[in-house]
Chain A
Amino acid sequence: MTAALIGLPLFGAATLLLGGRRTNAWGHFFAVAMSASSFFVGIFLFIQMLGRSGEERAVGQYLFDWISVGRFHVPFGLHIDQLSMVFVLLITGVGTLIHVYSIGYMEHDPNRRRFFAYLNLFVAAMLLLVLADNYLLLYVGWEGVGLASYLLISFYQHKPSAAAAGKKAFIVNRVGDVGLSIAVMLMFVTFGTVTFEGVAAGAPQAAPSHVTWIGLALLLAACGKSAQFPLQSWLLDAMEGPTPVSALIHAATMVTAGVYLITRAHAIFDLSSTARTAVVTIGAITLLLGAFIGTAKDDIKKGLAGSTMSQIGYMILAAGLGPAGYVFAIFHLLTHGLFKAGLFLGAGSVMHGMNDDVNMRHYGALRTAMKITYATFGLGYLAIIGVPPFSGFWSKDEIIHAAFGQNIYIGLATLLGAGVTAFYMTRMMAMTFFGEARWEKGIHPHESPATMTAPMLILALGSAFGGLLLVFVGDIEGWLEPIVGIGHSDHAVSNTILIPVTLLVVLVGAGYGWMTYGRRPVPVVAPENVSLLTRAARADAYGDALNEAVFMRPGQYLTRALVWFDSKAIDGTIGGLSAAIGGLSARGRKLQNGYARSYALTMLGGAVLIAFVLLLVRL
């Protein structure tokens, strides 16, 4: 049954890819069907799970012996528990919605079939990631989603920028994967196994240093996948992909895999405060960095991408807080999945209407032109900035709360982040839907077809009430408690104070945003004479420049140097050797001068040599 979850979308992908043009006509419906059926299987399993009490809710499914060499045994086994279940529902649910949305969005694309195949492939890989019962199999899903994201980012292959962005995403992720494989190797060396249970069971006896190193390696992996500092640079370029992809992969699901990994490996992090501190720091840095980048982007998708970074920063930070935070990390992950997907779909719908223009400076006053989009986007907006009772509020506030519980500076960081979020989201909102119309010539914004708006509406509802449901109906804490445990540190500040403060900060941020972009007219071209900070933000805080300077350019020089070295030095040496022999030979030939008497002389010389050697032996 669990296997079916993965099997269905995988089958869909295979059918569409191998089926070729034959499947063009019905391919997209088939893909949707596969994804949806996978979702229903998920629901079914969920209901089953509800039927069981907290402890025996986790069920494993051993399929076959995958790798077994010496002491190294890795089963091909699946494992579904409350944590994975949450993800399964998120992935298949949001996934299905976005499949539906894409039917409309990709309508005119000649390669629609390939697109849906990739989407299915992604869903399958992502499910494998969250359902694997050991770290190596998780690795497979881990790179599988990487592959899918690579394929989808560079989906518009004729665009060099898209191709480059895809490659960049894959390679930066590979850097993270190095961390994951090192972690797995360390686990094997330390625990002799790489299954979740084995590691969890062994962790307490393991040497603390090992545990810490495993934790840090896992963090590196998480940074790669979840676009955390210092491996964040790929996410903004990833927006080259079609918008549904950005919504599904680069907002709702894949990029949150890092959070899943850390939560999944809580046994490790619980035991190493060093690793936890590192996680929290990374999270804090990224949430501010992302928000900061978000403030200056005119590209609506890049703006959202920055915000994604920052929101995941929140989650990572929360996960870093240990038992006090895991639950809220996942909680925020879910709500974020809903509202960020909604926002992206909204952005997509806007672009659809503005025929694929992404520059917000060409938008404005769209609230009349696209009512549904406006409404759904608006709900998402309220959710993300954390206005009660919308979903973002519940999760984010809990994180801020827990952060203050950890230490005051972290808390302030999260608080500041909340403010900045409010600012840039307000800016986005204002530039897109309010103010006067700054549309280009011949652009006639129109609402998107139902296939697109329906998913948006559903997600909007989710972003509106998801939080409430999860807290009061779903009891997310109780649900996840048996997996990650729950712990309340003595809070420095109680919620009664914290919530009003947070709201105040948010209000300030939003207000400032409205003042600058809602009231005053927005210039159609981005002003040049701006503060250094703005420049930095526009340049993605110089992340790429850094990579360029530190890795790419030296790498190029090194490569060129080595190519030279290989042909000249190594090949040259051997060539030189043979040349030397040749020269020796050419000279030696001259001794053969054709004069019999000189030959005789040589012989006499030989005679002397022989006599010399013979007598030498005698001495």
Chain B
Amino acid sequence: MKNSFEYAALAPIVVLLGAGVFSILIEAFVPRTSRRICQLFLVLGSLALSFGYVLINATKTLVGDPATNGGQTHGLRQFAVNGATVIDGAGLFLQGTLILIAFVAALLLAENQVDPQGDAFAARSSTLPGSEDERQFTAQGWTQTEIWPLYLFCVGGMVLFPVANDFLTMFVALEVFSLPLYLMAGMARRRRLLSQEAALKYFVLGAFSSAFFLFGSALIYAVTATMNFGQVSVALENAGQDTLVITGIGMIAIGLLFKVGAVPFHQWIPDVYQGSPTALTAFMGAATKVAAFAAMLRVFYVAFGGMRWDWRPMFWVVAILTMLIGSILAVTQTDIKRMLAFSSIAHAGFLLLGVIATSASGLSSSLLYLFAYGFTTIGSFAVVSLVRDAAGEATHLSQWAGLGKKSPVVATSFALFLLALAGIPLTSGFTGKFAIFTAAIGGGATPLVIVAVIASAIAAFFYARVIVLMFFTEPPVDGPNVVIPSWFTKIAIGVSVAVTLLIGVFPQPLIDLIVSSGIFAS
């Protein structure tokens, strides 16, 4: 086996991690006044560059429409680092999606107009909440630029996640993108106690779940003597009956189900989404979901694809629980961020249908869904970050009454995102839902689709309720108002709206891209 390190193939990741290191240097050497601007250039630039590399790799791996080239769906693929990573069409698509989402999210994180005190992060997270020096730092208008190296490492880890081709790499990537998230979750400028609590919970439970993932892969390794997905699937064809294997699959599933926020591993989601700075929540809600599902799809399609008859029932149960509990619990939420958190749980349930299908259409529909969902989520949280009163963001539903009067544009775009989440036609949400339901029925999961339909019906209620609140009720006298953000947020929301509508009305180009990017390589 030759020792090689294919820089070209890994360029997107290398660029981001490298940029991360570099941005630490910026923290160290650039004077405070000019740090923010340098960091922004570095972050956005490196994201753009790495996206460019993704495109370059894509040109090498795309196979075009399987219909036109003899039904071949295996893209050219390139294993890197002795097969520790595999660069294939689906992986590249996911990388691209992640980088785009990260780019838009970066704009949100950079926003420093909506809050009179500065950006979304504490002036100095080391200071005690409510303490004297906190007040001073805030008064001096310090802003924290340490989040940017964290952010770059996080994105780097995420971009590595979907192309990781063995359990170890996957674990490392998992930690690389989780640890910065834990930290950033705790750095909110307002409501710092909640923020820190969110960080703690996220960390403890996250570590807990990754331990499961790790132990699971250890067991699989113990049976198959390899961690490479391809080899694992081959090995399992004869060793598949071992109980250790089943246990291993189960534990790996737990680790990943936690990340996607599937019931009963979902409870961190509402707390963390609510506690973290909203800009970060937007990033988490979108990117983590994509990355985690990317990994889950790869693991269960490639490594455990042969054992689908064993793990499918387990996923059925989880999917049903996730869809129903997610939708039902959202009904009585009074905090908009928590409500969106529960809705993201329900959506995780819908996405599980794509995993269960374990078919080409299952994969492509999941990719479509993830892409659509990612941007809708970013957009909706971006809007949440704009509705503020003196104490910061006004996230209680009652405060959203009559928003349509105060700011029709913002309210309308939020309504659009809600409709997309509810899966109303002509929005991206419907396209994704339609694709994934089709795949599920094609894969013989009709009962799940019925459950999904019922769940969507329940979900429709609380989405519609918010619209009623915004448009059909009179605004409270001392209600919050919608602040006019800087171009960062404007662009972020604009892009999300555009994507939501475009994929709703003209999904064909995206679908072509996904289909031509082919299935996972093993």
Contacts and interface: CB of A to CB of B under 8 A. Distances in A.
Given A592-B267, A596-B204, A610 B254 contact: yes
Interface stretch (A250-258, A341-349, A413-421, A601-609): A601-609
A613 B311 CA distance: 9
Given A602-B267, A607-B251, A609-B264, 17 more contacts: A578-B461, A584-B328, A588-B329, A599-B267, A599-B268, A600-B204, A603-B254, A606-B257, A606-B263, A606-B265, A607-B250, A610-B254, A611-B247, A613-B314, A613-B317, A614-B250, A615-B246
Given A592-B270, A603-B258, A617-B310, A610 B250 contact: yes
Contacts of B461: 578
Contact of B331 (A585, A606, A607, A614): A585
A582 B332 contact: yes
Interface stretch (B205-213, B354-362, B471-479): B205-213
Interface in B247-294: 247, 249-251, 253-254, 257-258, 263-265, 267-268, 270-271
A547 to B, nearest CB: 48
B490 to A, nearest CB: 34
B317 A614 contact: no
Contacts, number: 87
A596 B207 CA distance: 12
Contacts of B310: 614, 617-618
A255 to B, nearest CB: 57
15 contacts: A581-B331, A585-B329, A588-B329, A599-B205, A600-B208, A603-B208, A603-B258, A607-B212, A609-B264, A609-B317, A610-B318, A614-B311, A614-B313, A614-B314, A617-B313
A617 B311 CA distance: 8
Contact of B328 (A581, A592, A609): A581
Interface in B196-253: 200-201, 204-205, 208-209, 212, 243, 246-247, 249-251, 253
Interface in B289-344: 309-311, 313-314, 317-318, 325, 328-333
B359 to A, nearest CB: 20
Nearest to A603: B265
A525 to B, nearest CB: 65
A599 B261 CA distance: 12
A616 interface: yes
B251 to A, nearest CB: 7
A589 B270 CA distance: 11
A594 B193 CA distance: 14
Interface of B: 200-201, 204-205, 208-209, 212, 243, 246-247, 249-251, 253-254, 257-258, 263-265, 267-268, 270-271, 309-311, 313-314, 317-318, 325, 328-333, 458, 461
B21 to A, nearest CB: 32
A606 B314 contact: no
Interface string A249-285: 0000000000000000000000000000000000000
Contacts of A588: 325, 328-329
A600 B205 contact: yes
A586 interface: yes
Given A585-B332, A614-B246, A606 B254 contact: yes
Contacts of A584: 328
B313 A616 contact: yes
The CB with the most chain B CB atoms within 10 A, among A599, A605, A617, A618, is that of A599
A402 B31 CA distance: 126
A585 B328 contact: yes
Contacts of A605: 264
Contacts of B254: 603, 606-607, 610
User: Which 5 residue pairs are nearest across A and B when measured between Cβ atoms?
Assistant: A606-B264, A599-B267, A585-B332, A585-B331, A613-B314
Q: Which of A600, A610, A613 has the most CB of B within 10 A?
A: A610
Interface in A563-604: 578, 581-582, 584-586, 588-589, 591-592, 594, 596, 599-600, 602-603
Nearest to B245: A614
A596 B253 CA distance: 21
A614 B253 CA distance: 11
Contacts of A600: 204-205, 208
A584 B330 CA distance: 11
A580 to B, nearest CB: 10
A96 B247 CA distance: 102
A264 B405 CA distance: 71
A609 B258 CA distance: 14
A599 to B, nearest CB: 4
A609 B321 CA distance: 12
A599 B240 CA distance: 32
Given A596-B200, A596-B205, A617-B310, A602 B264 contact: yes
A155 B310 CA distance: 83
B476 to A, nearest CB: 23
Nearest to A618: B246
Contacts of A615: 243, 246
Contacts of B313: 613-614, 616-617
Nearest to A613: B314
A583 to B, nearest CB: 9
A589 B310 CA distance: 32
B331 A582 contact: yes
Contacts of B328: 581, 584-585, 588
Most chain B C-beta atoms within 10 Å of own C-beta, residue among A584, A603, A605, A618 = A603
A581 B458 contact: yes
Contacts of A613: 313-314, 317
Contacts of A602: 264-265, 267
